[in-house]
Amino acid sequence: MATERPFLPIERFNGYLPIEDHGLIGDGSTAALVGRDGAVSWLCAPRFDSPAVFGALLDRHRGGAFTIAPESMRASRQRYHDDSAVLVTEMRAQDGTVAVVDTLPLRQSADLTEDAPAGRSELMRRVRVLDGTVRLRIDVRPRGCRRVLPMGGGLELVCAPHLVIQLRLHSSVPLAGPSTTIALEQGDIIDLVLRWDGAAGRHRPRDPEQLIAGTDGAWRRWLSTFRYQGPQADAVRRSAITLKLLDHFRNGAIVAAPTSSLPERLGGVRNWDYRFAWIRDAAFTVYALRRIGLEHEAWGFLAWVLDAVERRGTPRVLYDLDGEDPPGERTDADLEGYRGSSPVRWGNDAAYQRQNDAYGEILDCAYQWARGGGHLDAPLWSRLRALADSAAEVWRVPDHGIWEVRTPGRLFTYSVALCHVAVDRAARLAAEFDLPGDVQRWRRAAHETREAILREAWDPTVGAFTEHLGGGNLDASLLALPLRRVVPADDEHMLATTDAIRRRLDAGDGLLYRYLPNESPDGLPGDEGAFLLCSFWLVDNLAHQGRLDEAADLYRSLCDRANPLGLLPEQIDPTTGAFLGNFPQALSHVGVISSGMNLGRLQAW
């Protein structure tokens, strides 16, 4: 049985709760962040990429929040129901303790392996007084709320034009208005349900206990196919649930993170909208999910990727949930940003960059699809052949690289390596499945790209592969070369590169910077935190180089950086250990799964 977490005092910085003091709930259409202070400070509805209903995470005054908390709260803690996405926040006040159970409830008997909506378009919050007496404050203020109208059993919330959905709050007790304080005693229960998107009309209420139990049951049924033998099993299990919470059930798209504009450096401008699906993430995510038995999610994401490619022809770096271009990037001057980190951005212009690695990501997805039993029909294969032919041509064309720099293009080593992946996988597909194509040309291109990396990316003065062909500085994305089967982990070049990256990009305690902006300009001022995925790539390299004890120790330390709920961000502030960047980050949890599987297979635990 897991040890109970202690109650911890609430600590704010510039009026904001730390990123790590939040839990995630979701229903396969959207997700919400719930803080240890009892506030839902982030919710976009009806979808991940919709406008924010609650956005206090990005502006504590004007962003909007839904807060349930006792007056004079002293401390709190959070936990999930076992093997579920139902979240419990326990808050201790001077004279009593209250628990709030939060969920975006699922439909009764929902099957999370179906490509269909499972949510009910509602946020349910059940309050129970565990001991003593409390004065409970209920405050619901969506962003841009203009009017609050009494409605049978609750309130109708009329918001600014940016919210095109109808919001209604239903309550089991009368509410005086958007802000109400109620005196409660041990055993008292209050149920509040916020509904939207056509579910906001009058409805026959469901038994909250049944909704919670049904939601728990759906999550546990889904997890019944989970299989894993390796270290940090609880962390891997929670990472699987977290990735599923970032899955758009209707079509299999997986968003990079459910949030926008959480800063990569406090006070800096490196604030991006991650509520979209990146092609780059697909191959890594699919590979991880397949290895722990989550075949449906793997095939769903693969199918979504291939459908998007077949529909558009030319590869994009990222797409919206429907496989279309995301909205153009814009800044929101009305929000101050998390802890004053502006600008707040909606949309992402990286979608329109040249990023040659996309060819390899797509062909690798197709290869996994076919090797797993998926069928590449003639129209789709025609598209994929064209992409492989393009990769054979463009690998000498500068691009913006895996890190989406906002400077003129360069010949990034990682991009060349992924062009190698594109032609290599195309040649393998054609040979293994008797598909038409110029296999010899693709094989020649695979040889040329690999030789170019070995010859031109190697810098003898640095003693490592470098970020560009022709030499340059170090880039932690080079740790992915063995993972994409471009250069073996135990090749002398990779051995030296691994050690050089550990020295030069070291952020302390096993953390790595992905690159150093002062040495590798990316078009943005300032710097950023340590990028978690790169440290998981380091675990994989060390493991495959036979340095198993080092790999296992590093993996353990990375898993220990998760918050008490097992959630990880994009980046870590190496000086404080605080979370940075959008949260929770899909690729960080992919790292937990993949590195754990590698260590388990090598019996390094």
Q: How far apart are CA 69 and CA 250, in angstroms?
A: 34
Work out the mean pLDDT of the chain and round it to a whole number: 94
The pair of structure tokens assigned to 111 is 């099957």
Phi and psi, residue 451, nearest 5°:
-65, -35
Nearest to 281 by CA among 595, 605, 585, 601: 585
Whole-structure pTM value: 0.96
pLDDT of residue 52: 96
Reported confidence tier of residue 1, pLDDT bands at 50, 70, 90: very low
Contacts of 383 (CB under 8 A, 6+ apart): 309, 310, 313
The pair of structure tokens assigned to 9 is 């005092």
**Taking 70 as the threshold, does the pLDDT of residue 348 lie above it?**
yes
Reported confidence tier of residue 161, pLDDT bands at 50, 70, 90: confident
Mean pLDDT of 109-138: 95
Q: How far apart are CA 346 and CA 337, in angstroms?
A: 12
Mean pLDDT of 498-504: 97
Reported confidence tier of residue 204, pLDDT bands at 50, 70, 90: low
The pair of structure tokens assigned to 222 is 């889904």
Number of other CB atoms surrounding residue 484 within 10 Å: 20
The distance of Cα 537 from the centroid of its chain, to the nearest Å, equals 17
Q: How far apart are CA 565 and CA 77, in angstroms?
A: 10
Higher pLDDT, 116 or 452: 452
Nearest to 256 by CA among 584, 575, 594: 584
pLDDT of residue 205: 64
User: 273-277, 312-316, 325-329, 332-336: which range is least confident on average?
Assistant: 312-316
Cα dist from 94 to 98, 185, 386, 403, whole Å: 11, 13, 67, 48
Is 533 in contact with 588 (CB distance < 8 Å)? yes
Mean pLDDT of 516-521: 94
pLDDT of residue 312: 73
Round to the nearest angstrom and report the end-to-end CA distance of the chain: 21
pLDDT of residue 149: 87
Mean pLDDT of 411-420: 97
Cα dist from 44 to 242, 245, 260, whole Å: 17, 14, 10
Number of other CB atoms surrounding residue 571 within 10 Å: 30
Contacts of 455 (CB under 8 A, 6+ apart): none
What is the 3 state secondary structure string of 133-163? EEEEEEEEECCCEEEEEEECCEEEEEECCCC
Q: How far apart are CA 471 and CA 491, in angstroms?
A: 19
Q: Which residues pair with 385 in a beta bridge?
A: none
Strands 75-80 and 145-151, by their bridges, are: unpaired
Q: What is the pLDDT of residues 576-602, one digit of tens each?
A: 999 999 999 999 999 999 999 999 999
Contacts of 430 (CB under 8 A, 6+ apart): 436, 437, 439, 442
User: 44-48, 69-73, 296-300, 437-441: which range is least confident on average?
Assistant: 296-300
DSSP conformation class of 345: E
User: 141-150, 340-349, 504-513: which range is least confident on average?
Assistant: 141-150
Mean pLDDT of 9-34: 97
3-state helix, strand, coil in the chain (%, to 5): 35, 20, 45
pLDDT of residue 193: 96
**Taking 70 as the threshold, does the pLDDT of residue 46 lie above it?**
yes
Length of the chain: 605
Q: How far apart are CA 303 and CA 373, in angstroms?
A: 12
Q: How far apart are CA 394 and CA 164, in angstroms?
A: 43
pLDDT of residue 295: 87
Phi and psi, residue 23, nearest 5°:
-115, 160
Mean pLDDT of 56-81: 97
Nearest to 357 by CA among 465, 443, 477, 272: 477
* DSSP E strands, 457-564: 458-459, 464-465, 506-508, 511-512, 530-531
Mean pLDDT of 448-469: 96
Mean pLDDT of 535-544: 98
Number of other CB atoms surrounding residue 74 within 10 Å: 14
Percent with pLDDT over 70 in the chain? 98
Q: Interior CA angle at 381 toward 378 and 383, to 5°?
A: 115
pLDDT of residue 2: 54
Cα dist from 480 to 83, 402, 485, 502, whole Å: 31, 11, 9, 14
Is 141 in contact with 56 (CB distance < 8 Å)? no
SS3 at position 436 = coil
Q: Which residues of 95-111 are buried (b: 16+ CB within 10 A; e: fewer)?
A: ebbbebbbbbbbbeebe
**Taking 80 as the threshold, does the pLDDT of residue 203 lie above it?**
no
pLDDT of residue 347: 96
Reported confidence tier of residue 201, pLDDT bands at 50, 70, 90: low
Q: How far apart are CA 270 and CA 261, in angstroms?
A: 8
Q: How far apart are CA 564 and CA 197, in angstroms?
A: 33
Number of other CB atoms surrounding residue 54 within 10 Å: 25
pLDDT of residue 112: 93
The pair of structure tokens assigned to 248 is 């758009």
Write the single-letter amino acid at 99: A
Number of other CB atoms surrounding residue 153 within 10 Å: 16
Mean pLDDT of 196-206: 64
The distance of Cα 370 from the centroid of its chain, to the nearest Å, equals 26
Cα dist from 201 to 30, 52, 173, whole Å: 20, 21, 18
**Taking 60 as the threshold, does the pLDDT of residue 202 lie above it?**
no
